[in-house]
Amino acid sequence: MVNDLQEPNQTLQPLRKPLISLRRYLGDGLGWGLSTLAFLVLTSAFFSIIGNVFLRALPVLHLNLFTEITNGIGGGLKNAIEGTAILSLGSILIAAPIGIAAGIYLSEHGAGKWGSALRFLSDVLVGLPSIVLGYVGYITMVIYLGWQFSVAAGIITLAVMLLPYITRTTELALRRIPDTVREAGYALGAGEGRIVFQILLPGTSSAIMTGIFYAVALSMGETAPLLYTAGWSNYMWHGHMTKEPIGYLTYVVWTFINEPFKESHMLAFAAAFLITFGVLIFILLARWILARTQRKLGGL
Amino acid sequence: MKFSIFRISLIATASLLPLSLLAIIVFLALYSWPAIQYNAFHFLWINDWNLGNLYGNPITQHGQQIMPGAHYGIWFLVVGTLSSSFIALLLALPLGVGSAIFLSEGLPRTWGTLLSLFVDLLASIPSVVYGLWGYAVLVPFLAKHVYPSMAHILSFNSFFGGQPGTGYGLLTTSIVLAIMMVPLISSTLRETMNMTDPALKEAGRSLGMSRFQVIWHIVLPNLRTVLMGVSILALGRALGETMAVLMVSGNALNYLPDNIYSPISTMASFIASQLDSALQDPTGMAVRALSEIALVLLLIAVIVNIVARLMLWKRGYIHGQ
């Protein structure tokens, strides 16, 4: 009986095995190599952008950038810095309360059809090209309402753009709070409003702040929605909401680089430097807050 | 059911979101109505944008007042927008997929999270800064060192060969757009790859597949819908990108790209650059024609976004930040 057992056909094994493993080694090596290359390309693009903006802005980063206003080809950036601050702050002041309220609605009562329709539409709103928002701001507020190029038109256009972002981050933050917390509140006799304002919002304030910081960063870097709503001004703002245009940093970047003068180019890079690093600081701050709260929650 | 005042005010505020979307579409359609009546929608296929003789007397055509000789055809914008966005997507996909594989599977988790910061931060750089980088760094570099030799090597093909041009044009625009699109693709893919059921990967490994084979044959095919959805989403961003395109595209007028280095113009950048000259038209038809372009761009963006969101939602993946 034992002799009847056939030996397995050994001749195939040594022929096929090296072939398979060679293909495997080559395929794996190629795959990992290309993946690493893709990452390296992106990282070098990032450092090229940041490095160039930094190095070319460095020679012009004087104090008079912050004390002088722009003139035709050069000067400082005082008016543009002020304008960017006003537009960002104003648009956040409008978008934050509305966005947070919409986020509360979506997380607390948005389980049904109406809620998911709302969520869907706000996702679509995120995808609208910002120049289209700017153009609608132009035809409605600048022309039809007769506000002309103005702070109000710029702020409202930006606020519409920021709304869906703030709504979404608020909703996601609130949904992370377990239902038992709400039930505990109801059991103590608290009403809907009291639960939202005294339990849910304080508990998620840092996550909501993260969303608002992202929105600030977004509003600082925008140009297209402001071109035909806020206009441009070489002077400081006099406090009129309508009929007075205002300057902002991103506008300096794109117009002054087209001037034939070296001084204007340097100013464009200085503006790009302020914008880029302003945005990065807000983004990193937001990520840091989020990471810190997540660590705190994880420690509970 | 009785609603409290608190609940009613929440509903009222929340409905501002869809209302603003609706208002945008309605206002744009109303404002561009004369242009829609004059152009209908076949202005998309005509390649002739001309404001006409702005010093002549307005004439009446199709019931609308226009300047003599005015034409509002935007075929070159349609071609420029679609070609630059699709080439950008072709460039962005391998970069996005590759970097996602490297960051989520190729590195230990802590290193992956740390290094992914560089890719994620690319998303936060303002588009005008991308434009500035393209204008001051990329365009001179490509025009001097890359395009001439590339056109020489690929001279057997008229689309890749031909005149390498000044550096402003289709390919430069696509490269800049691709770098702007990648973070979205990469981060979404990375998140969903991390969410993939570990049992699937273990099953693959136990069959003797290598780590890369598991990613390539099991994890990625599983994420096909997500990848397609996020690609369409990224395409939508590229279609509507304004400032960066404005600064590197060469802003062609009535010119169809004959090779990959040709100057182009996109709908979004055209709206941004042409309003000043359109305002010179005393009949106002030029401004309304621009508004019709904005309406077309808006409809494309809405359709693209709806398709992308439906695909992502079907997979149960909701994009957070």
* Residue B192's CATH number: 1.10.3720.10
Count of CB atoms within 10 A of residue B14's CB? 25
Mean pLDDT of B143-153: 88
- Count of domains forming chain A: 1
Higher pLDDT, B137 or B285: B137
CB-CB: which of A123, A130, A211 is closest to B305?
A123
Residue A83 corresponds to which tokens in the numbers above?
């304008």
Alpha helices in chain A (DSSP H): 12-57, 64-67, 78-109, 113-126, 130-137, 151-175, 179-187, 192-195, 201-221, 224-227, 249-256, 262-299
**Mutation choice for B interface testing from A23, A36, A47, A49 by most B CBs within 10 A:** A49
Q: Is the pLDDT of residue B321 over 50?
A: no
Residue B261 lies in a domain: yes
Rounded-to-integer distance, Cα A137 and Cα A134, Å: 5
CB-CB: which of B7, B119, B291 is closest to A139?
B291
Residue A177 lies in a domain: yes
Residue A282 lies in a domain: yes
Residue A269 lies in a domain: yes
Residue A25 lies in a domain: no
Residue B126 lies in a domain: yes
CB-CB: which of B94, B115, B118 is closest to A38?
B94
Q: Is the pLDDT of residue A59 over 50?
A: yes
Mean pLDDT of B149-175: 86
Mean pLDDT of chain A: 87
A3 pLDDT band, cuts 50/70/90, is low
3-class DSSP assignment, residue B67? coil
- Count of domains forming chain B: 1
Residue B229 lies in a domain: yes
| pLDDT tens per residue across span A252-265 | 998 888 888 888 88
Q: Minimal CA–CA distance to A210: which of A115, A99, A74?
A: A99
Mean pLDDT of A61-88: 86
Please tell me if residue A172 touches chain B, with a CB cutoff of 8 Å: yes
Rounded-to-integer distance, Cα B68 and Cα B72, Å: 12
Using a pLDDT cut of 90, give the percent of chain B over it: 41
Q: Which of A65-79, B245-259, B288-302 is predicted most confidently?
A: B288-302
3-class DSSP assignment, residue B63? coil
Q: Cα separations (Å) of A93 from A24, A105, A126, A248, B6?
A: 57, 19, 19, 18, 21
Amino acid A62: pLDDT: 82
Residue B54 lies in a domain: no
Q: Which of A30-44, A125-139, B63-77 has the lowest mean pLDDT?
A: B63-77
Residue A182 corresponds to which tokens in the numbers above?
């709400």
Q: Is the pLDDT of residue B95 over 90?
A: yes
Q: Is the pLDDT of residue A166 over 60?
A: yes
Residue A55 lies in a domain: no
Residue A184 lies in a domain: yes
* Residue A210's CATH number: 1.10.3720.10
Residue B35 lies in a domain: no
Amino acid A5: pLDDT: 58
B316 pLDDT band, cuts 50/70/90, is low
Amino acid A97: pLDDT: 93
Using a pLDDT cut of 70, give the percent of chain A over it: 92
Please tell me if residue B153 touches chain A, with a CB cutoff of 8 Å: no
Higher pLDDT, B291 or B51: B291
Inspect the interface and report whether the beta carbons of B294 and A109 lie closer than 8 Å. Answer: no
Rounded-to-integer distance, Cα A162 and Cα A174, Å: 19
CB-CB: which of A36, A56, A98 is closest to B106?
A36
Inspect the interface and report whether the beta carbons of A124 and B309 lie closer than 8 Å. Answer: yes
CB A225, CB A71: distance < 8 Å: no
3-class DSSP assignment, residue B59? strand
| pLDDT tens per residue across span B25-38 | 999 999 988 888 88
| pLDDT tens per residue across span A271-289 | 999 999 999 999 999 989 8
Alpha helices in chain B (DSSP H): 5-14, 16-31, 33-39, 75-105, 109-122, 127-133, 139-141, 147-153, 170-195, 198-206, 211-214, 220-222, 224-240, 243-248, 267-278, 285-314
Residues 6+ apart with CB under 8 A from A278: A217, A220
Inspect the interface and report whether the beta carbons of A42 and B103 lie closer than 8 Å. Answer: no
Q: Is the pLDDT of residue A101 over 80?
A: yes
CB A118, CB B14: distance < 8 Å: yes
Chain A residue with Cα closest to B232: A127
Residue B277 lies in a domain: yes
Residue A39 lies in a domain: no
Residue B118 lies in a domain: yes
Please tell me if residue B280 touches chain A, with a CB cutoff of 8 Å: no
Q: Is the pLDDT of residue A203 over 60?
A: yes
Amino acid B277: pLDDT: 82
Residues 124-143, chain A, touching B (beta carbon < 8 A): 124-136, 138-140
Here the ipTM equals 0.89
Mean pLDDT of B211-235: 90
| pLDDT tens per residue across span A128-139 | 999 999 999 999
Chain A residue with Cα closest to B181: A42
Mean pLDDT of B256-284: 87
Domain enclosing residue A183, as ranges = 68-295
Q: Minimal CA–CA distance to B269: which of A206, A299, A130, A177?
A: A130
Amino acid B39: pLDDT: 78
Residue B120 lies in a domain: yes
Domain enclosing residue B169, as ranges = 75-314
A1 pLDDT band, cuts 50/70/90, is very low
Amino acid B230: pLDDT: 92
B108 pLDDT band, cuts 50/70/90, is confident
Q: Is the pLDDT of residue B23 over 80?
A: yes
| pLDDT tens per residue across span B196-220 | 888 988 999 999 888 899 999 999 9
Q: Which of A90-99, A233-242, B112-121 is predicted most confidently?
A: A90-99
| pLDDT tens per residue across span B176-186 | 999 999 999 99
Mean pLDDT of chain B: 87
Higher pLDDT, A40 or B155: A40
Amino acid B298: pLDDT: 93
